[in-house]
Amino acid sequence: MTDLETIAAAFDGDTWQHGLAHYRNGDVVVFEALRHDRAKALVQGDRARAHRVFLEWPNAGERPDGDCDCPAEFDCEHVVAALAAWLDAVDGSAVTESEPTESAMGQVRGTNPPAANARRSDTTVLLYVIHPVAEDGSVLVALHVGVKGKLRSDGGYFAPRAFRLRESHWRQPPRFITDGDLEHLRWLEREGQPLWPAADRSGEGGATHYWLPREAVAPMLRQFVPSDRCYWEHTGQPPLRPGAARPGQLHWRLRADARQRLEPVTDPRCNEVLLSSELWYRDGAVVGPVAMDLPRPVLEALGTWGWLAPEEATAAAARLADDTTELVVPKPHALTHRECTPSPRPVLRLTCRRGLPPEALSNRLDASRHLVAELAFDYVVPEDTARVGADDPANCTHLLVGRARVRIVRDAAQEAECVRRLDSLEGLPDDGNCPPTEAGEERQPPVPGVRLYTAGTTEDDWLAFTFGVVPELIAEGWRVEAASDFPYPPVVAEDWDAHIIPRTDGGWFDLGLGVTVDGERIELLPLLLSALRELPQDVHDALLDEDGWTQGHLPVPLPDGRRLAMPVARLRPLLATLVELYDCDLRLDRSGRLRVRAMDACRLVELAQAGWSWNGPNALRRLGERLRQGAEAVSVPTGLRAELRPYQQTGLNWLQLLCSEGFGGVLADDMGLGKTVQVLAHILVEKEAGRLDRPCLVVVPTSLLVTWEREVRRFAPDLRIVRLHGARRNLGAVPDADLVVTSYGVLRSDVEGLAELSWHLVILDEAQHIKNPRSHAARALRRLEAHQRLCLTGTPIENHLGELWSLFHFLMPGFLGDEAVFRRRYRRPIEEQGDEWLRERLAQRVRPFVLRRTKAAVTPELPVKTQIQRVVEMTGDQRDLYEGIRVAVHRDLQQAMADKGLEGARIELLDALLKLRQVCCDPRLVRDEADIGADHGRHAKAPSAKLEALCELLPGLIEDGRRVLVFSQFTSMLRLIEARLPGLGIEWVKLTGRTRDRDAVVDRFQAAEVPLMLISLKAGGTGLNLTAADTVIHYDPWWNPAVEDQATDRAHRIGQDKPVFVYRLICAGTVEERIQHLQAGKAALAEGLYDTGADADSQEGNGPLAAADLEALLAEPESARMGDADGHA
């Protein structure tokens, strides 16, 4: 081992000095080496408390490791004291529990141990604990160690510990073993039988036991009791003390089965008379001789007769009277006789079996206690009940009823069926009527009449049995009893009730759970929470897992120390709320109730379905059932100018259910599934029902303002809409509106005014804009008061779960707890540890309030190809540039048409439209300074509304697993798009007329190496098979729809197995939008604009392009004529 100086260097000076002081003061009260490299010790602390120390010293030359149960936990002063004891111990031939000298200490510190430390018998003492183990009077004597001078008020010793007597102790006794102790130990070795110590919790061994036959009990008491260190069964009570002799006499004692036994009784009466070589009594902690001179034949008869039937007792008394003339033997009780045949009831008695011979005792359990389940049967007669052991060979039993002996005939067939039921239980083997023995040993003979079962040798084994199997047996009509000393008695409740009381603050309820045990109602929630906090994490997980622990019972400690068998089926619906929502950190009120929200109704209703008696509002129960089972169908409003598909009808039903209770929700359908039309239908239902007494507010990105206006006019023209945007926006127009549409930017600016208004609905489109809960927009929106709040987004989670929390913090503050608890409970385990179980728990938590349908899920409801038009609005410099060019080309074109006619001015027309389309795509595409004017520098740097819309659209599509094609006529536009992709974290390939290895580019996309392909319309519009794509975006619409269709067909063709979604990006109020409108009525318009050699008269449609059509294309936008004033529809 390492020398002491090396060890001292590993501790700070104060810790080392205090540890040495503990050692010198004799505070190492117990020391034991477990192996050559491990040891444990008990070190007296400074506050009358002993600390347990565990030491490991695996390699010589290295410093040892020490753990302690004091607050310091390791490398403390108690560890130093224990190390000093270890060093001293190894100076001898073996490590013992003896207290160390300080010879080694003196070598290092130059100090000598104080004289008071030379002998420690005044501090540590050996204790003797007597355990009765058999009815024949034999006992076990266990050795323990206690600390003298630390006596408790009841006489028990401080921190008693099991003591294992080793062979080395006979050569070098520990110092606390006195000469008197050595005499006692030698006597035990001579008169008794030493047993292997039982394993303690660490598996390192426990107390040494000696088995003594009954003849040796009296001599042992006479010698050991005067030491004041002898105990009956345990050291938690006063030690045995000598008592005066008591007179005694013989007496026949009747038992319930009408058997009787001859036994001595004392005056005054005592707990028991011990049959030994002489009679001794025990009365509590007092023991003494019985003043009764019994002849030897009588003494032997008392120890061997046992319980006798009436006829056996009469014959035995006669024989005994003949054998001795020195004593008058009393006559047995005289009884009458009758017979009956009742049905048996199986009884399982859980107990600590003590009546076993020492050779059958297991070294895996306390040698004085073996936990068993005893199978017996109760036969009930009107006056009483007879119990008979399952393995009792007799075909009948007897019962004492008054002075009559009732003979009860047993039902062998029913008893055999019950035995088969127990034998079939997994984990409860027939114990062979004795405890398990070591491998290779033969089983001992059965204990007559008793059939024993064991559930194992550990606490977990017995808990699994008593709380898993026992309740099942009780439900089948069995009687299960637990002896007073059985450590795991189950308690089965008579009733379970859930009390839900509405609070006055609205939306909140007080939840109380009660259980009735032995006729008394107990508030269960405080006890249940305490039990849950003590459960290992894997048990928590199994309880919450839908496929995990679904059967059996959970032990819940009751105030009186018993354990309630809590059915897991009743517990699971409650656990989801307690563990998930409140993270087991919740606080109950003084009455033991929990405050819950109405939004937890779907959880609470599960209580009733799990067998709890429901005592609460029926409306809350109905709400929970609706949230779980789905909303009732709602009639489509008459003002809706659209036919809802089935999944959209489901969305309307869901929105109405949430609104009826004031709950918020996230409509998270994929893009293109019609979130807008579902919300408009929802608003119309509210209006037609007369509930729309306040306006609804829709907050959208600026690029979607026009889209919402147009969708309202298209699908819900009866709604009065106000657009809050631009410099001339007017809050005064809001109260008269049904629907107010504004942008996130305006909201931040006008939050003070908007917060003063009351809203029926507040709806966020592209709600990922508030994914940062500390953003200005998020904080502003939380200030708005509304009956219902809704979020529309195809991507409720883009980067992390904190974004989902932020959405719900807006929708229903507190629903997912505060941000810190959510981060600890869900976000970190799921994101950093990949906890799929918690991810599913969170999904279940939010499921009633999130409705998400993917395109794949609703494919049967969609056409094979879905067309989606995204309208964006130009602002600022881009809008000014467009308007300046429009006015100029309009003027020039009118002049050219006046000079040349419409056909002669075709070149000027195409050039004018090209410039306008370039501005719509991106101002940087326009390079003619003459067209841009004096503000060339400013306009050339103007942002592109369409490019920003594309950059908002692409990440969500890619995150949803979409494979995307982006078409543009302008290769220069593709380069501008390309420049933005690295910032979005998107990988791509590009295909233009200059691409040399087209096949390699196509193969990379088809092989799913990249999710995005940029394609020039001319280079990729024909001749390609791109069936890996399921989304097509036309950045700049082509005038000829057939050309667009050909490009779309690169993905939408034979071999495509997914729905294809086609997006067209259109700038509002521009030539792009006018072309889209004119295409419906003039199919030849696009061809007439693009193909100069086409015969206009031969085109399908209404004829060639007319001057009126040209005027429509280049006319002043409606928004320019209206300005930014708020408009009503």
Residues 6 or more apart whose Cβ sits within 8 Å of residue 997: none
Torsion of CA 135, 141, 147, 149, to 10 degrees: 60
**Residues 89, 29 contacting (CB under 8 angstroms):** no
Question: Is 0.85 topped by the overall pTM?
Answer: no
Of the candidates 689, 688, 686, 675, the residue with the CA atom closest to the CA atom of residue 644:
675
**Residues 277, 218 contacting (CB under 8 angstroms):** yes
SS3 content of the chain, % helix, strand, coil (to 5): 40, 25, 40
Of the candidates 84, 97, 80, the residue with the CA atom closest to the CA atom of residue 144:
97
The pLDDT of residue 389 is above 80: yes
Per the model's pLDDT, the better-predicted residue between 1021 and 989 turns out to be 989
Torsion of CA 492, 495, 500, 501, to 10 degrees: -110
Q: Which of 50-54, 442-446, 901-905, 948-952 has the lowest mean pLDDT?
A: 442-446
Of the candidates 175, 281, 180, the residue with the CA atom closest to the CA atom of residue 232:
281
Whole-angstrom CA distances from 931 to 916, 934, 1115 are 11, 9, 18
Mean pLDDT for the stretch of residues 837-859 = 80
Model confidence over 325-346: pLDDT tens digits?
Answer: 777 889 999 999 999 999 999 9
Beta bridge partners of 661: none
Task: Tell me how crowded residue 705 is: count the other CB atoms within 10 A of its CB.
Answer: 24
Length of the chain in residues, anyone?
Answer: 1129
Q: Which of 605-619, 872-886, 1049-1063, 1065-1079 has the lowest mean pLDDT?
A: 605-619
Rg (CA), the chain: 46
Q: Which of 501-505, 762-766, 925-929, 1100-1104 has the lowest mean pLDDT?
A: 1100-1104
pLDDT for position 1003:
87
Mean pLDDT for the stretch of residues 364-368 = 38
pLDDT for position 894:
83
Whole-angstrom CA distances from 44 to 32, 33, 124, 146, 1080 are 15, 18, 11, 12, 96
Task: Tell me how crowded residue 915 is: count the other CB atoms within 10 A of its CB.
Answer: 22
What percent of the chain stands above pLDDT 90? 29
Whole-angstrom CA distances from 843 to 214, 673, 792, 837, 898 are 68, 22, 18, 10, 68
Instruction: Determine which helix (DSSP H) or strand (DSSP E) holds 964, and give its type and residue range.
Output: strand 964-968
CATH superfamily assigned to domain 634-852? Tandem AAA-ATPase domain (3.40.50.10810)
Per the model's pLDDT, the better-predicted residue between 756 and 1041 turns out to be 756
d(CA 1124, CA 63): 81
Instruction: Determine which helix (DSSP H) or strand (DSSP E) holds 1089, and give its type and residue range.
Output: helix 1085-1090
Q: How confident is the model at residue 1117 (pLDDT cuts 50, 70, 90)?
A: low
**Residues 849, 663 contacting (CB under 8 angstroms):** yes
> At residue 335, what is the residue type?
L
Strand 964-968 and strand 1031-1034: pairing? Answer: parallel
d(CA 382, CA 384): 6
**Residues 112, 61 contacting (CB under 8 angstroms):** no
pLDDT for position 61:
59
Q: How confident is the model at residue 483 (pLDDT cuts 50, 70, 90)?
A: confident
d(CA 264, CA 248): 6
pLDDT for position 446:
39
Model confidence over 1083-1094: pLDDT tens digits?
Answer: 333 233 223 333
Domain ranges across the chain: 4-117, 124-242, 248-323, 336-490, 493-627, 634-852
The structure tokens listed for 438 are: 């070591």
> At residue 428, what is the residue type?
L
d(CA 184, CA 230): 11
Model confidence over 680-689: pLDDT tens digits?
Answer: 999 999 999 9
**Residues 146, 159 contacting (CB under 8 angstroms):** yes
d(CA 271, CA 1037): 104
pLDDT for position 63:
67
Torsion of CA 807, 812, 817, 820, to 10 degrees: 40
Model confidence over 182-192: pLDDT tens digits?
Answer: 999 999 999 99
Q: What is the CA 312 to chain-centroid distance, rounded?
A: 64
d(CA 316, CA 322): 10
Task: Tell me how crowded residue 400 is: count the other CB atoms within 10 A of its CB.
Answer: 20
Instruction: Determine which helix (DSSP H) or strand (DSSP E) holds 376, and give its type and residue range.
Output: strand 370-381
Residues 6 or more apart whose Cβ sits within 8 Å of residue 248: 264, 265, 266, 267, 273, 279, 281, 290, 291, 292
* In the block, residue with structure tokens 């026009």: 706
Q: Which of 230-239, 246-255, 996-1005, 1036-1045 has the lowest mean pLDDT?
A: 1036-1045
Strand 38-44 and strand 50-56: pairing? Answer: antiparallel
Model confidence over 596-614: pLDDT tens digits?
Answer: 776 666 666 666 666 677 7
Per the model's pLDDT, the better-predicted residue between 454 and 975 turns out to be 975
Model confidence over 294-303: pLDDT tens digits?
Answer: 888 888 888 7
Of the candidates 947, 836, 318, the residue with the CA atom closest to the CA atom of residue 541:
836
d(CA 521, CA 258): 40
d(CA 892, CA 886): 10
Model confidence over 698-744: pLDDT tens digits?
Answer: 999 886 788 799 899 999 999 999 999 988 888 889 999 999 999 99
Whole-angstrom CA distances from 895 to 67, 568, 886, 908 are 98, 87, 14, 10
pLDDT for position 939:
58
